[in-house]
Structure 1
């Protein structure tokens, strides 16, 4: 599929049950754009394992990657999704993801053009958490 925001390639993934309660609509699946990091909900989760390497070689894999991708999808609305972001960030850390290191790597990639300001959101997230 392609991103509705920029037309870039996307990676579809199922959202782990424990993370669904922290997503705005308790979606079963989503897809993240490898170019702009837009996350779009999916009614049906994919059956194939996600290849988050398409986003970034150092992107977390498996469940940790799904949680991290879901978190990235909410960063453009920090004020609106504060509770959800806090919950997903805690789950990501439990899964072994250093959220701030991931943001730094995404920013340093040079290829990804996020639909939100990573530096600004990283600073705001640091204050929030």
Structure 2
């Protein structure tokens, strides 16, 4: 099932949300924590994903995007970076989980910043600096 981003029209990449991170996944209304989500392959927004059977890898986003549970944590993190102040605790949790799973969050943000095929919904350079400060 290919769906498109309501903000930019990019393809949505469905992925499974790792155990313990469901409360950080986007949901519709008062739904319970999610077991799947979707990442826009262009603007990097995240969306609720009702059908986990289509879960895939992040190859459709970029070949450098982290894989596995670390990639899922990074994807959820990207969906929250438009509002660091409101999402600070969740962002800290997601950065920690991504790094424990072997994903290099700062390197991924650097690569996203230099990727002309992406049009992130947040200021990558500014958010990278702020995320780096969270890691100190």
1:124 and 2:130 aligned? yes
1:106 and 2:112 aligned? yes
- Cα deviation for residue 21 of structure 1 reads 3.6
- Mapped to 2, the partners of 1:23 and 1:12 lie a distance apart of 12
Asked if the contact 2:26/2:47 (under 8 Å) is kept, the reply is: no
Gap regions ≥5 residues in structure 1: none
Question: 1:28 matched to which residue of 2?
Answer: 35
TM-score by length of 2: 0.87
Q: What is the count of residue pairs matched by the alignment?
A: 128
1:94 and 2:100 aligned? yes
- Mapped to 2, the partners of 1:125 and 1:115 lie a distance apart of 16
- Cα deviation for residue 128 of structure 1 reads 2.3
TM-score by length of 1: 0.91
Question: 1:47 matched to which residue of 2?
Answer: 53
* Higher RCO (CA < 8 A, seq sep 6+): 1
- Cα deviation for residue 24 of structure 1 reads 6.5
Asked if the contact 2:12/2:39 (under 8 Å) is kept, the reply is: yes
Question: 2:63 matched to which residue of 1?
Answer: 57
- Mapped to 1, the partners of 2:70 and 2:120 lie a distance apart of 20
Q: Over the residues paired in the alignment, what is the CA RMSD in angstroms?
A: 1.5
Question: 2:14 matched to which residue of 1?
Answer: 12
Asked if the contact 2:25/2:37 (under 8 Å) is kept, the reply is: no
Asked if the contact 1:13/1:45 (under 8 Å) is kept, the reply is: no
- Cα deviation for residue 28 of structure 1 reads 2.1
Asked if the contact 1:50/1:62 (under 8 Å) is kept, the reply is: no
Runs of 4+ in 1 over 4 A off after TM superposition: none
